[in-house]
């Protein structure tokens, strides 16, 4: 198979673009698949090459702000203000479109997305071409965005494509997309420029659309994105990689890829894992820069699981976590919650994971847990009777990051459920007390400090309810987001 050619000759690349050709080029975020925005056929070729649905519009790239009125109409003051503060840079603005922008670019929307990339090679290429360029990320649809010329070459093997090499991209995740046609403006896709940065630098208050439901305005967000072939498992800030590895119970440890910094990799006790280091010590910027490259590396090496850390929801952590969660979405997580996370919830976690169907993973936490405590000896003992090992368990307190991560949150009692909803009412659709699955409909009492017989009774009650929960999962009950009514209809007596 012939490879697309990699070049650093910008004159040649510009000539090809002017000729109606397609050229991949670097930006500070990811590589783009470029074509002259006003050349309808060239833009169609971009859609065709990527295998991109026609209803997903493209971003128009400019070399500087003076070009803005060539593609946008009625440009609001805010847009000039924002570009003055952040351009060139990873901020895309959705504006009213000018007539001369072909419908194929904007998927027939009346708006156009515009940005000025912070990469010398990109701006020089646009300037030499003399026209605005469309540039979706230069990956085959459904693959991670490319952050090196070699990634683009890999995806488009056998195709006639010229790739301008500009080294590895500095940012590594795609630009922030901000819709300025609504008031207040809304972030349709998070990037490293956050709502907070925007407010700080310009005083403009924008809404960060947190939920999937709020996003379909950016058509691209409805498509499955950024997914490597392996199952991606997120590791929470207070979780250890060793702990997560042990829950996977795989025989071949080299089928697990770990994405982390060198310090963290060095502290992992489990031997034989595949590793991809993003830098010497923990840094969300470095992690964002390397995430897609790591996905590609692990896919090439055919790992089955990729473990990658979540960072705090701030700064670049917002965009990094967003991309990681999208990649990880095929793993659905269940969190069992009790008081101290040393008796009931670790037993529920162990029972669940011992019989969980593929793609489901349980963990546990305590509303009043200290963190770091082992499971009660009696809890460990009654689980061992069942061939389930929870001796390596360490208690974890309930945190907002942890809750956000879950498909389903299963408190051991209705009281715990009420406490969680008190803490965050928006969890309503995710929280189901274990009693909802218990054959007798009862809460699980706390055996803490009591006899092994009491622990055995608790274990049996938890087991019965977890069995019902697992049966519902296996029958596809949680495959789609479910309404309260459907849950109630299926509740135990």
Binding residues (CB under 6 A) for ligand TXA: these are 27, 29-30, 32, 56-59, 90, 92, 94, 106, 109, 111-113, 117, 135-137, 174-175, 177, 188-189, 217-221
| Residues, the chain | 493
**Residue 309 binds which one of ligand TXA, Mg ion, none, with CB within 5 to 8 A depending on kind?**
none
- From ligand TXA, Mg ion, none, interface partner of 112 (C-beta below 5 to 8 A by class): ligand TXA
Residue number with the smallest Cβ distance to ligand TXA: 220
Q: Which is nearer to Mg ion, 61 or 344 (CB)?
A: 61
Residue 27 near which of Mg ion, ligand TXA, none (CB within 5-8 Å, type-dependent)? ligand TXA
Quickly list H helices, 305-343: 316-328
Instruction: For 402-436, give the DSSP string.
Output: HHHT-SEEEESSHHHHHHHHHH-GGGTTTB--GGG
φ, ψ dihedrals at 144, nearest 5°: -65, 150
Which ranges of 4-76 does DSSP label H, i.e. alpha helix? 10-18, 40-50, 68-71
The minimum distance between CB 145 and Mg ion, in angstroms, equals: 5
Residues 131-150 touching Mg ion, rule: CB under 5 A, are: 137
| Least spacing, CB of residue 104 vs ligand TXA, in Å | 12
How far apart are CB 115 and ligand TXA at their closest, in Å?
6
Q: 226 vs 241, which CB is nearer to ligand TXA?
A: 226
Minimum distance of Mg ion from residue 129's CB (angstroms)? 21
Q: 162 contacts which partner out of Mg ion, ligand TXA, none, CB within 5 to 8 A by kind?
A: none
CA angle at residue 187 from 181 to 190, to 5 degrees? 150
3 state DSSP class of 231: strand
Tell me which DSSP letter residue 366 carries.
E
Taking the complex as a whole, the smallest distance from the CB of residue 269 to ligand TXA amounts, in Å, to 38
Cβ atoms of 396 and 366 within 8 Å: the answer is yes
Q: What gap in Å lies between CA 229 and CA 255, rounded to an integer? A: 12
* Minimum distance, C-beta of residue 131 to ligand TXA, in the bound complex (Å): 16
Rg of the Cα atoms in the chain: 25
Residue 47 beta carbon to ligand TXA: minimum distance, rounded to whole angstroms: 10
Q: Which is nearer to ligand TXA, 152 or 232 (by Cβ)?
A: 152
- If the CB atoms of residues 136 and 309 are measured against Mg ion, the closer one turns out to be 136
Strand, coil or helix: 23: strand
For residue 362, list its beta bridge partners. Answer: 334
Site string for Mg ion, 226-265 (x = CB under 5 A): ----------------------------------------
Residue 275, strand partner residues = 258
By CB atoms closer than 10 A (0-12, 13-18, 19+), residue 19 is exposed
Quote the Cα angle for 325-397-259, to 5°.
Answer: 35
Beta carbon of residue 226, minimum distance to ligand TXA (angstroms, whole number): 10
Closer residue to ligand TXA in complex, CB, 59/376: 59
Q: Which is nearer to ligand TXA, 137 or 435 (CB)?
A: 137
Q: Decide whether 137 or 153 has the Cβ nearer to Mg ion.
A: 137
CB of 431 closer than 8 Å to CB of 337: no
Q: Considering beta carbons, is residue 141 or 231 the nearer one to Mg ion? A: 141
- Least Cα distance to 372 among 241, 263, 238, 237 occurs for 238
Binding site for Mg ion (CB under 5 A): 137
């Amino acid at each position: 198979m012939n490879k697309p050619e990699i070049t650093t000759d910008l004159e040649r690349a510009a000539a090809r673009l002017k000729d109606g050709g397609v050229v991949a080029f670097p930006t500070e975020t990811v590589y783009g698949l470029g074509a002259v925005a006003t050349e309808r056929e060239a833009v169609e070729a971009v859609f065709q090459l990527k295998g991109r649905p026609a209803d997903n519009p493209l971003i128009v790239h400019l070399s500087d702000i003076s070009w803005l009125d060539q593609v946008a109409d009625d440009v609001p003051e805010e847009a000039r203000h924002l570009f003055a503060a952040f351009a060139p840079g990873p901020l895309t603005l959705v504006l009213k479109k000018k007539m001369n922008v072909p419908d194929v670019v904007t998927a027939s929307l009346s708006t156009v997305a515009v940005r000025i990339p912070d990469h010398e090679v990109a701006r020089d290429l646009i300037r030499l071409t003399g026209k605005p360029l469309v540039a979706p990320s230069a990956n085959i649809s459904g693959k991670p965005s490319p952050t090196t010329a070699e990634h683009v070459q890999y995806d488009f093997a056998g195709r006639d494509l010229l790739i301008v090499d500009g080294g590895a991209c500095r940012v590594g995740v795609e630009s922030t997309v901000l819709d300025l046609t609504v008031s207040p403006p809304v972030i349709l896709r998070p990037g490293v420029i956050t709502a907070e940065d925007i407010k700080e630098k310009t005083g403009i208050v924008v809404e960060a659309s947190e939920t999937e439901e709020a996003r379909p305005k950016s058509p691209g967000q409805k498509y499955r994105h950024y997914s490597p072939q392996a199952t991606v498992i997120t590791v929470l800030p207070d979780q250890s990689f060793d702990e997560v590895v042990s829950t996977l119970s795989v025989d071949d440890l080299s089928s697990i890829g770990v994405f982390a910094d060198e310090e963290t990799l060095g502290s992992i006790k489990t031997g034989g894992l595949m590793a991809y280091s993003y830098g010497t010590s923990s840094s969300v910027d470095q992690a964002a820069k390397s995430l897609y490259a790591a996905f590609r590396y692990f896919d090439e090496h055919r790992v089955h699981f990729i473990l990658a850390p979540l960072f705090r929801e701030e700064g670049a952590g917002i965009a990094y976590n967003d991309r990681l969660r999208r990649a990880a979405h095929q793993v659905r997580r269940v969190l069992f919650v009790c008081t101290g996370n040393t008796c009931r919830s670790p037993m529920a976690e162990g029972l669940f994971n011992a019989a969980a169907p593929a793609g489901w993973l349980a963990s546990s936490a305590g509303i009043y847990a200290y963190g770091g405590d082992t499971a009660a000896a009696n809890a460990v003992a009654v689980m061992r009777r069942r061939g389930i090992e929870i001796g390596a368990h360490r208690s974890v307190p309930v945190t907002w990051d942890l809750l956000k991560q879950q498909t389903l949150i299963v408190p051991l009692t209705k009281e715990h459920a009420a406490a969680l909803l008190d803490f965050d009412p928006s969890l309503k659709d995710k929280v189901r007390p274990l009693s909802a699955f218990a054959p007798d409909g009862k809460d699980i009492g706390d055996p803490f400090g009591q006899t092994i017989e009491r622990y055995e009774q608790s274990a049996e009650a938890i087991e019965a309810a977890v069995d019902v929960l697992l049966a519902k999962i296996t029958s596809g009950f949680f495959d789609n987001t479910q309404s309260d009514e459907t849950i109630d209809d299926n509740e135990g007596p």
